[in-house]
Chains A and B, each alone.
Chain A
């Protein structure tokens, strides 16, 4: 199937929570994600999916084991270095959109790119329009983010995650707030990003269809990898 370049790898990731009592949320989680792969994380509520995703995101650094992104060891790096890695290589989609309410949709999409500083302001604007167009929101670009419907806001936040063409896109229930039509639309876009752009998507989901249609599903139970399913649909 896909080429087998490892883009993200974990080595025995373990994590504890101490509040209210010490317990192990993640236990010896080791897996690899490949370039262009659409990977889903499933499991019962409370099994540690989000926790794992935050560790992969480099925002949570309080874990044991090691994390590699693009072959580079990320574990133990300084927070500013991690911020730079996120800026360049990782996009996020959450269940909630987290758009900045005072800014237009376009600006919301542009901000991570302006922060990265790789393209000129005009190029960034063009690219932002292009991403919004891809998600069917070009006509909403100049509206304030707070004036959009929930589904529209969620799609703006997906455009924001895509603006820097990150190698890895991490999603925590990205379609949880969307109706089935919009969910299907987002799913198709994700599919396309993996196959055409070679981006890797790691998505936490409760939606079985969503999972079944991805390339591979990792099932977690009590913080451990229970099993891995590879689908050979096409």
Chain B
């Protein structure tokens, strides 16, 4: 009963100034819609670029890093004279020593969801006089498909033949185009070790990523080992996936003590792209925050105006027994109503924007505009919208609560 009258007064104030209420609410609407829109966009881009990244990159990669030669005598302090030398990369072989023991050890970790050995060889593809540079990927096709969903990118042929044939190859679509080759044609592969292999094209894939499609082929892991004249223990990389890719860095640090080889997480590999994402995210968040702040200022202003016009009302309410906290409740509630209206409209407007944009065809590798509904964005924007309006309402409400009724009655 007691709080009811506060609500009634607040509602009456709102209803008798519909226009101002709406204007204040629309400010919030713009802020919320902008927030939802830009964050969904960022989320969409993020998700899109991740799918692109995870088409070719594992969450964690173990490989032999290049070693740099050391001086014969190392300087103990910067001022000490040392033997001048010319540091060089001294990596003689890319292989991981005893790879299957390491692989077994990696698979034993309970946070690893899958792990697979890889042989990556720098090669040239030839057809007649035409030559293309690229990387041949020796893989266990079943494991690689589980990790990268290669099947999903196939445009012709199939992956199956790769599992048991050492002379079959699955090529990127641009390689096939440039060399004018199709299914069942032969592709000549020349490795840096001088091995020449003629292989039959059993499948063509297209990731829609230009660099990948014009350089990558998949072949049987043993075939790749033949290309570098090596035996079955020649493994250049171990790829591993974990459950939550966002924790890759932590798990790479967890995995590193197991081996002396380099463990690299995908975020380190793609630090440049992710940094760009982060900067865009910060920019769009601060823009929408600024809009919300302006909206909050609008609410603050309107309440301040209402209060200045209603000094007499506030004075008589206080005289007839309304406590300071009742006055605060009345005006915060008014702000909250504006905030709720504005936020609700903002959610709808944001949803409409997403709906429209997600249907826009942009072509290229993305097909449709990479934006999607993320309930999290809607929840955080609602919380932001309401918190900011409560804050914007509280300041003037507190001023109203402190009004001295005697000073008003004396006028």
- Check if B76 is an interface residue, CB within 8 A of chain A: no
CB proximity of B1 to chain A, nearest CB, Å = 4
Would you give the shortest CB distance from A50 to chain B, in whole angstroms? 7
Give the complex CA separation of A117 and B323 in angstroms. 14
Chain A residue, CB-CB nearest to B1: A117
Query: Per-residue 0/1 for B199-235: is the Cβ within 8 Å of any A Cβ (1 yes, 0 no)?
Result: 0000000000000000000000000000000000000
- Within the assembled complex, what's the spacing in Å between the Cα atoms of A66 and B265? 77
* Beta-carbon contact of B406 and A115 below 8 Å: no
Which of A99, A102, A115, A160 is in CB contact (< 8 Å) with B326? A115
Q: Once the chains bind, are A59 and B313 in contact (CB under 8 Å)? A: no
- Segment 163-200 of A: residues with Cβ below 8 Å from B: 172
Which residue of chain A has its CB nearest to the CB of B4?
A114
Q: A60-B406, A103-B12, A115-B326 are in contact. Are A87 and B5 (CB under 8 A)?
A: no
Q: Which of A78-86, A126-134, A224-232 contacts B (4 or more CB under 8 A)?
A: A78-86
A116 CA to B1 CA in the complex, in Å?
9
Residue among A50, A60, A92, A115 making CB contact with B322, cutoff 8 Å = A115
Tell whether, in the assembled complex, residue A102 and residue B12 are in contact, meaning their CB atoms are under 8 Å apart. yes
B139 an interface residue at 8 Å Cβ cutoff?
no
Contact B319 A57 (CB under 8 A): yes
CA distance A114 to B16 in the complex (A): 21
Given A114-B5, A115-B326, answer yes or no on A83-B406 (Cβ-Cβ < 8 Å).
no
The answer to whether the Cβ of A31 comes within 8 Å of any Cβ in the partner chain is: no
Q: How far is the CA of A78 from the CA of B315 in the complex (A)?
A: 18
Chain A residue at minimal CB-CB distance from B322: A115
How far is B410's CA from A48's CA once the two chains are assembled, in angstroms? 12
Please measure, in the bound complex, the distance between the C-alpha atom of A103 and the C-alpha atom of B317, giving whole angstroms. 13
Interface flag for A38 (CB, 8 Å): no
Considering residues B4, B5, B315, which has the most beta carbons from chain A within 10 angstroms of its beta carbon?
Answer: B5
As a 0/1 sequence over residues 69 to 113 of chain A, the CB contacts with chain B under 8 angstroms (1 = contact) are 000000000011001101110001010001110110000000110
Check if A83 sits within 8 Å of B321, measured CB to CB. yes
**A121 in the interface, Cβ–Cβ < 8 Å?**
yes
Smallest CB-CB separation from A81: which chain B residue? B323
Interface flag for A54 (CB, 8 Å): yes
B321 x A86 contact (CB < 8 A)? yes
Cβ-based interface call for B320 (8 A): yes
Q: B409 interface residue, CB < 8 Å from A?
A: yes
Interface contact A115-B319, CB-CB below 8 Å: no
Contacts A102-B16, A115-B2; A94 near B409 (Cβ below 8 A): yes
Smallest CB separation, A100 vs chain B (Å): 5
A112 CB to nearest B CB, Å: 4
Chain A residue contacts of B406, Cβ below 8 A: 54, 59-60
Q: Is the CB of A115 within 8 A of B5?
A: yes
Q: Please name all residues of chain B whose beta carbon is closer than 8 Å to the beta carbon of A160 when the two chains form the complex.
A: 320
Given contacts A114-B4, A114-B5, A115-B2, contact A84 B321 (CB under 8 A): yes
Closest to A108 in B: B316
Q: B50 on the interface (CB 8 Å rule)? A: no
Q: Which chain B residue has the least Cβ–Cβ distance from A98?
A: B316
> Which residue of A has the minimal Cβ distance to B319?
A92
Check A114 against B321 for contact (C-beta < 8 Å): no
CB 8 Å contact bits of B303-345 with A (1 = contact, 0 = none):
0000000001101111111111110000000000000000000
Task: Give B269-323 interface residues, CB cut-off 8 Å to A.
Answer: 312-313, 315-323
Chain A residues, CB < 8 A from B1: 114, 117, 120-121
Task: A87 to B317: give the CA distance in the assembly, Å.
Answer: 10
**Smallest CB-CB separation from A80: which chain B residue?**
B323
User: Known contacts A98-B312, A121-B1: does B320 contact A79 (CB below 8 Å)?
Assistant: no
B13 at the interface (CB under 8 A from A): yes
CA distance A59 to B4 in the complex (A): 24
Report Cα–Cα, A140/B4, bound state, in Å. Answer: 24
Q: A59-B405, A60-B406, A94-B409 are in contact. Are A80 and B325 (CB under 8 A)?
A: yes
CA distance A50 to B409 in the complex (A): 10
**Chain A residues closer than 8 Å to B318, beta-carbon distance:** 59, 83
- CB contacts (< 8 Å) of A116 on chain B: these are 321
Using known A-B contacts A54-B409, A102-B13, A114-B4, determine if residue A92 contacts B320 with beta carbons closer than 8 Å.
Answer: yes
- Quick check: B312 and A117 within 8 Å, CB to CB? no
Q: What is the CB-to-nearest-CB distance from A167 to chain B, in angstroms, rounded to a whole number?
A: 14
Residue of B nearest to A100 (CB): B313
Contacts of B5 in A (CB 8 A): 111, 114-115
Chain A residue numbers with a CB within 8 Å of B324 are 79-80, 83
Task: Note all chain B residues with C-beta closer than 8 A to A86.
Answer: 319-321
Contacts of A60 in B (CB 8 A): 406
Asked if A117 meets B319 with Cβ closer than 8 Å, knowing A54-B409, A59-B405, A98-B312, the reply is no
Q: A91: nearest residue on chain B (CB-CB)? A: B320
Check A111–B4 contact: CB distance below 8 A.
no
Question: CB within 8 A of B320: which of A50, A103, A111, A120?
Answer: A111
Residues of B within 8 A of A115 (CB): 2, 5, 320-322, 326
Query: Can you name 5 A-B pairs with beta carbons within 8 Å?
Result: A59-B404, A60-B406, A114-B5, A115-B320, A116-B321
Given contacts A98-B312, A100-B9, 9 further A-B contacts (CB under 8 A): A54-B409, A57-B319, A59-B319, A80-B324, A103-B12, A112-B320, A114-B8, A115-B5, A115-B320
